[in-house]
Amino acid sequence: MRKKVVAGNWKCNTTLQEGVELAKAVDKIVAEKGASDVVVVMGTPFTHLTKVVESVNTKRVGVSSQNCAAEAKGAFTGEVSAAMVKSTGAEYVILGHSERREYYGETSETLNKKVALTLENGLTPIYCCGEPLEIREAGTQKEYVINQLKETIFSLSADDFKKIIIAYEPIWAIGTGKTATTEQAQEMHKDIRDAIAAQFDAAVADEISILYGGSCNPKNANELFANPDVDGGLIGGASLKAEDFIEIINAY
Ligand code: 13P
């Protein structure tokens, strides 16, 4: 049975002290109220990883970075490697977020290296895909998103592919308050799952968790998560408040 996952992406928010407080609040509220069958993850800035890992029960609330370097180590000033992330005790790495593709020029080639290093280090990639508004308006979003997957994670072996969590995040819905309708989300998630079945097989497709991201909040999570192919969410803004995040976690 595939897992239900609700992952927070804090992006470039919170100082270390604020982040530790938030992580503790999330851990506490998940302990008190969280549905036991939902995997909860917090995607924190690199600087927070070690402290956050130390401050929470990581069996209850997993910890993720939001990126990692495309190289294993060496003269790459300012980069943080997958091995470094692993050494903090974090278990997940968000990769291919549209903000990284758009603002930092991440290409499929770079992402292939990052995915490989993440897997080599025993970390779970939360791999993002999603189309910009002009592609949605042109009606070619399915081809666009499946192509993002074909150029990257579809070339993995089935065994490695099964370790990945996919997050579908339509760019036009990120931070805009404009959520995909439940039909739009389900349609794309099913398209992704069908493409996985075609590339690998139906059993692999059935095992992969596909999360929705883009203005997901306590009000709309229930409807989105009710879709058969939506296995949870990657949550930006609403993951910065423990009270909102827990409502999303419990939206199943
Ligand atoms: P928002 O939930 O703030 O729209 O962000 C979504 C996102 O980009 C998560 O990675």
Task: Quote the pLDDT of residue 178.
Answer: 84
Q: How much is the average pLDDT of 75-85?
A: 98
Decide: 46 and 10 in contact? Cβ < 8 Å.
no
Contacts of 207 (CB under 8 A, 6+ apart): 2, 162
Question: Is the pLDDT score of 185 beyond 90?
Answer: yes
Task: Quote the pLDDT of residue 1.
Answer: 82
Q: What is the pLDDT of residues 195-215, one digit of tens each?
A: 999 999 999 999 999 999 999
Task: Quote the pLDDT of residue 179.
Answer: 87
User: What is the CA 140 to chain-centroid distance, rounded?
Assistant: 23
Contacts of 108 (CB under 8 A, 6+ apart): 148, 151, 152
Q: How much is the average pLDDT of 77-104?
A: 98
Q: How much is the average pLDDT of 157-175?
A: 97
Q: Tell me if residue 97 is catalytic.
A: yes
| Interatomic CA distance for residues 59 and 40, integer angstroms | 9
Question: Is the pLDDT score of 189 beyond 90?
Answer: yes
Q: Which ligand 1 atom sits closest to the C-alpha of 215?
A: 4
Question: Is the pLDDT score of 138 beyond 90?
Answer: yes
User: What is the CA 181 to chain-centroid distance, rounded?
Assistant: 19
Structural domain spans, the chain: 4-249
* Out of 24-38, 39-53, 66-80, least confident range: 24-38
CA distances from 76 to 65, 79, 81, 101, 152 (A): 18, 6, 10, 19, 23
Task: Quote the pLDDT of residue 177.
Answer: 83
| Interatomic CA distance for residues 36 and 250, integer angstroms | 9
Q: How much is the average pLDDT of 60-68?
A: 98
52: tokens are 């956050």
Q: Tell me if residue 48 is catalytic.
A: no
Task: Quote the pLDDT of residue 248.
Answer: 97
> Confidence class of residue 72 from pLDDT cuts 50, 70 and 90?
very high
> Confidence class of residue 35 from pLDDT cuts 50, 70 and 90?
confident
| β-bridge partners, 210 | 166
Contacts of 9 (CB under 8 A, 6+ apart): 43, 66, 94, 97, 213, 234, 235, 236, 239
Q: What angle do CA 95, 112, 154 make, to 5 degrees?
A: 95
**Mutation probe of ligand 1 site: the residue of 5, 6, 10, 11 with most atoms within 8 A of C-beta:** 11
Please tell me the pTM assigned to this model. 0.98
**Mutation probe of ligand 1 site: the residue of 64, 97, 169 with most atoms within 8 A of C-beta:** 169
SS3 163: coil
Q: Which ligand 1 atom sits closest to the C-alpha of 216?
A: 2
| Average pLDDT of every residue of the chain | 97
Q: What is the pLDDT of residues 211-237, one digit of tens each?
A: 999 999 999 999 999 999 999 999 999
Helix ranges (DSSP H) in 90-229: 98-103, 108-120, 133-138, 141-150, 158-161, 182-199, 202-207, 221-225
Task: Quote the pLDDT of residue 47.
Answer: 98
Q: What is the pLDDT of residues 94-110, one digit of tens each?
A: 999 999 999 999 999 99
Helix ranges (DSSP H) in the chain: 16-33, 49-55, 82-87, 98-103, 108-120, 133-138, 141-150, 158-161, 182-199, 202-207, 221-225, 242-249
Q: Which ligand 1 atom sits closest to the C-alpha of 99?
A: 8
Instruction: Report the residue count for the chain.
Output: 252
Q: For the domain made up of 4-249, give the CATH fold.
A: TIM Barrel (3.20.20)
Residue of 97, 99, 131, 189 marked active site:
97
Residue of 99, 106, 169, 247 marked active site:
169
Task: Quote the pLDDT of residue 34.
Answer: 85
23 C-alpha to ligand 1 centroid (Å): 18
SS3 232: strand
In this structure, how many other beta carbons lie within 10 angstroms of the beta carbon of residue 89? 13
